[in-house]
Amino acid sequence: MDLIPQLIVDALLLGGIYTLMVIGLALSFGVTRVINFAHGEAVMLGAYGAFTVFVAFGVDPLIAMPVLMVAGCVLGMVLFKVAIAPVLKAPHVNQILLTFGIGLVLQNLALVIWSPDGRSVVPSYAYSSFEFGDVVVSGGRLIGFGIAAVLVLALFFWLKRTEFGRATRALAEQHDAAVLMGINVNQMYALAFGLSVALGVATGVILSFLGAITPFMGFHILVKGFAIIVLGGLGSIVGAVLGAFLLAFAETAVSYYVPNGTGWAEAVAFLTLFLVLVLRPRGIIGQAVAD
Amino acid sequence: MHRLSSGGILPILALATTLAATPALAQESIKIGVPMELSGRFVAYGASGKRGVEFATEVYGGKVAGKKIELLVRDIQSESQATISVFNELVSKEKVNYIIGPIGSPTVAAAIPAWRQGKPIWLVPGSSSTKLEEEVGGDPEFFHTFPYAYNYHESIAAALKNQLPAGQKVAMIYTDDNYGRTHQPYAKKYLTDAGFEVVLEEIVRTNAADMNPLLTKIARVKPDVLLGLVQTTDAVTLAKQIYTRKLPVPYLIGTAATQLDEWQKAVGTAQEGWVGVTTYLPGLNRPGNQEFPKLFPPSSEWEAMFVKKYGQEPDFEDAGCYVSAMLLFLAIERAGGDDKEKVAAELRKMDIPNTLLGRAKFVSTPSGTKQQAFTDMVVFQRENGKNVMLFPPGPETKKIKAVTY
């Protein structure tokens, strides 16, 4: 029983990181219906961006984050216009192959630029922690959780309260009606895709001081991310947030209470994914996907 | 009557000269396959391996037994399929008689079927996996120049026994991959034999983002020693999360990453107090070989030469592949040329004291490798950003220090 407070803290902090990892994926799929297999590489580039500004200019990753997010958003919009837009009406498999290919190109680019050596950013707060009785809270993870909360709330605010956000929701919910209302589809698609990349970059910035940065880190993030958005419901941002916390609690509980449980974390993710696909294919709050 | 103009005859002469010269040139060189992980996840090892072999070739003078040394360096991309393709090319197409590399346990394992097609002399300066020993240890063409997993844990257990009081408690973390699973039983055996009590063994998924639940479990059993059988990126995550949490375990040991510059840079201050085990460390001050002073100078001189050429300190695979290549060159020299059987016999007879890795002598292991060299390892501790020797006992050996936060 005395493990429960620590379990709750660990699961909440992990859930925050998972949320940040997947809301970008959920946004881009919800609006454009393109499953972005290069999203993990956006995270990877964000992490390397933070590493580079920290090492080269001594700039704290959290200070650099807004600039890196803007750069990621612009890069995402350009990528959408150049590579994704031409295949919007193509079969899903073509889109998957395209984004997968983009991911491979970005991985190799990172290999050339930063080498395959594992890197990490170590600002002072990365190694801070607080103790409340028997409960230990990592400062870096708490910061990650806080940033995830702020960004998720900002995204919801943008979607609900701004003209662009409402247009984005209209496109996601009723594409044809939105077009008839005069919404510039390509512009909104590019913006949603750019924002999803920016959120991936923010995730990378947080991960840069929590763990190791490598050119291949994106793949593992992507796999976990897909499990979460399927669990929450493809295309639903609220579902993605719920899925992130559900999975974080399930994994952490297994880690604590099952012998060798940390080794089972990924199995928990995929068992959950399997059960959701069999019992409730739309996920917790999912939309039906036609094809 | 047709007369050949100079414009017509010159290309013909050039072609004839080239055709005549090609076989002669081929005979003038000795081909050595160097399949290494030059990209992908093991590139840090493969890049060092390539550097070590090339440096050895340069120091040796570029020729052996009067013939040019031709290194066929190939990138196996740290992938099994690419490894198989490269070995097929080296063994079946290039028909090399000698191969040095690769380094990583999975890539070495992937190479075995293709190597068996021609069985060139194979020096393996990497792979601690005992599966390798089971597969090819008995082959007369296989020469292993890197310690096996059990050598690691024999050294760690001996070092801890030498440094700590008996009966101390050990917790172990190991990854669910080939590395962790291979090392875990040996770690347990040697530590238990040395009088330590293994109180916790926990598996962790590779690339796990959160090791905190594991660390909570470890803190509850209050071990004196934590042994991490995890590789580079997992070792970074583990060290960072231990330091953040200020885990109350006095002695931290990492088997795969502590000696790597990459790990040290990634974890920063969290490296302080970690204990590592390796075959070679800069600053060991090993003596040189008197018979071959140019090839095996004192380690400090060799390190200075290396730094001058590459602008960085050598790591354990730079030294391992340098020595492995030198042994092959010396064996070819002693065999009088490119005769595979004679070269293998010379390698088996070889007994050279004071190389960078210690005495070079191939012996059989109790577990089945017929030709094994270099099983001695050093155990060290990171102290103020430097390596401090803990084992084997000697004038430079210091007392182990508990980790403080």
pLDDT at A275 over 70: yes
pLDDT reported for residue A142:
95
Task: List chain B residues with CB under 8 Å of A116.
Answer: 39-41, 43-44
Give the start-to-end residue ranges of the domains of chain B.
28-147+284-374, 150-278+377-391
User: How do A129-132 and A135-138 pair as beta strands?
Assistant: antiparallel
Q: Please indicate, yes or no, if residue A289 is contained in any of the structural domains.
A: no
CATH code, domain carrying A59? 1.10.3470
Is the distance from CB of B381 to CB of B401 less than 8 angstroms?
Answer: yes
- Yes or no, beta carbons of B213 and A139 under 8 Å apart: no
Task: List chain A residues with CB under 8 Å of B176.
Answer: 263
Is the distance from CB of B298 to CB of B282 less than 8 angstroms?
Answer: no
Cis peptide before B223 (omega within 30 of 0): no
Task: List chain B residues with CB under 8 Å of A117.
Answer: 44, 262, 265-266
- Yes or no, beta carbons of A214 and B237 under 8 Å apart: no
Question: How far does chain A reach from its first CA to its final CA, in angstroms?
Answer: 46
Which residues contact residue A185 at a Cβ distance below 8 angstroms, ignoring those fewer than 6 apart? A171, A175, A178, A179
Q: Using one digit for the tens of pLDDT, what is the confidence trace for B243-295? A: 999 999 999 999 989 988 889 999 999 999 999 999 998 888 889 999 999 99
User: Which two structure tokens, joined as six digits, stand for B254?
Assistant: 């990492």
Q: Using one digit for the tens of pLDDT, what is the confidence trace for B335-367? A: 999 999 999 999 999 999 999 999 999 999 999
pLDDT reported for residue A1:
52
pLDDT reported for residue B200:
95
pLDDT reported for residue B383:
95
pLDDT reported for residue B27:
55
> Are the folds of B28-147+284-374 and B150-278+377-391 the same?
yes
- Yes or no, beta carbons of B213 and A262 under 8 Å apart: yes
- Yes or no, beta carbons of A263 and B40 under 8 Å apart: no
What is the mean pLDDT of the segment spanning B121-128? Answer: 96
- Yes or no, beta carbons of B210 and A220 under 8 Å apart: no
> Quick check: A119 contacting B, CB < 8 Å?
yes
Q: Please indicate, yes or no, if residue A291 is contained in any of the structural domains.
A: no
What is the mean pLDDT of the segment spanning B54-70? Answer: 97
> Quick check: A130 contacting B, CB < 8 Å?
no
Its domain, for residue A190, covers 4-279
Is the distance from CB of B285 to CB of B298 less than 8 angstroms?
Answer: yes
Question: Measured between alpha carbons, how far is A36 from A26 in angstroms, rounded to an integer?
Answer: 10
pLDDT at B2 over 80: no
- Yes or no, beta carbons of A263 and B204 under 8 Å apart: yes
Domain count, chain A: 1
Is the distance from CB of B274 to CB of B250 less than 8 angstroms?
Answer: no
> Quick check: A60 contacting B, CB < 8 Å?
no
pLDDT reported for residue A133:
87
Of all residues in chain B, the percent with pLDDT exceeding 90 is 80
Nearest CA in chain A to B239: A211
For the ranges A17-26, A167-176, B315-324, which has the lowest average pLDDT? A167-176
Nearest CA in chain A to B41: A116
Q: Please indicate, yes or no, if residue A290 is contained in any of the structural domains.
A: no
Question: Measured between alpha carbons, how far is A252 from A258 in angstroms, rounded to an integer?
Answer: 10
Of all residues in chain B, the percent with pLDDT exceeding 70 is 93
The mean of the pLDDT values for chain A is: 90
Question: Measured between alpha carbons, how far is B168 from A24 in angstroms, rounded to an integer?
Answer: 49
Task: List chain A residues with CB under 8 Å of B230.
Answer: none
pLDDT reported for residue A110:
93
Q: For residue A214, give the nearest of B176, B202, B233 by CB distance.
A: B233
Give the up-direction half-sphere exposure of residue B402: CA atoms within 13 A in the CB hemisphere. Answer: 11
Query: Angle at which helices B232-245 and B212-221 pack, to 10 degrees?
Result: 60
Task: List chain B residues with CB under 8 Å of A3.
Answer: 216
Domain spanning B150-278+377-391 has what CATH number? Answer: 3.40.50.2300
Q: Using one digit for the tens of pLDDT, what is the confidence trace for B25-36? A: 445 899 999 999
Confidence of residue B161 (pLDDT cuts 50, 70, 90): very high
Q: Look at residues B356, B358, B330 and name the one whose alpha carbon lies nearest to residue B345.
A: B330
pLDDT at A121 over 60: yes
pLDDT reported for residue A287:
58
Q: Look at residues A48, A13, A40 and name the one whose alpha carbon lies nearest to residue A24.
A: A40
What is the mean pLDDT of the segment spanning B292-320? Answer: 96
* Residue at B226: amino acid letter: L
> Quick check: A203 contacting B, CB < 8 Å?
no
Q: Using one digit for the tens of pLDDT, what is the confidence trace for B92-117? A: 999 999 999 999 988 999 999 999 99
Give the gap in angstroms from C-alpha A120 to the nearest C-alpha of chain B. Answer: 5
Confidence of residue B87 (pLDDT cuts 50, 70, 90): very high
Q: Using one digit for the tens of pLDDT, what is the confidence trace for B6-29? A: 444 444 444 444 444 444 444 589
In angstroms, the Cα distances linking B195 to A246, B19, B188 are: 44, 69, 11
What is the mean pLDDT of the segment spanning A152-165? Answer: 92
Nearest CA in chain A to B46: A116
User: Which two structure tokens, joined as six digits, stand for A229?
Assistant: 């958005």
Q: Look at residues A59, A77, A79 and name the one whose alpha carbon lies nearest to residue A67.
A: A59
What is the mean pLDDT of the segment spanning B49-77? Answer: 97
Domain spanning B28-147+284-374 has what CATH number? Answer: 3.40.50.2300
So what's the ipTM on this one? 0.86
Task: List chain A residues with CB under 8 Å of B205.
Answer: 262-266
pLDDT reported for residue B197:
97
What is the mean pLDDT of the segment spanning B140-152? Answer: 97
The mean of the pLDDT values for chain B is: 91
- Yes or no, beta carbons of B216 and A10 under 8 Å apart: yes
Q: Please indicate, yes or no, if residue A189 is contained in any of the structural domains.
A: yes
Q: Please indicate, yes or no, if residue A288 is contained in any of the structural domains.
A: no
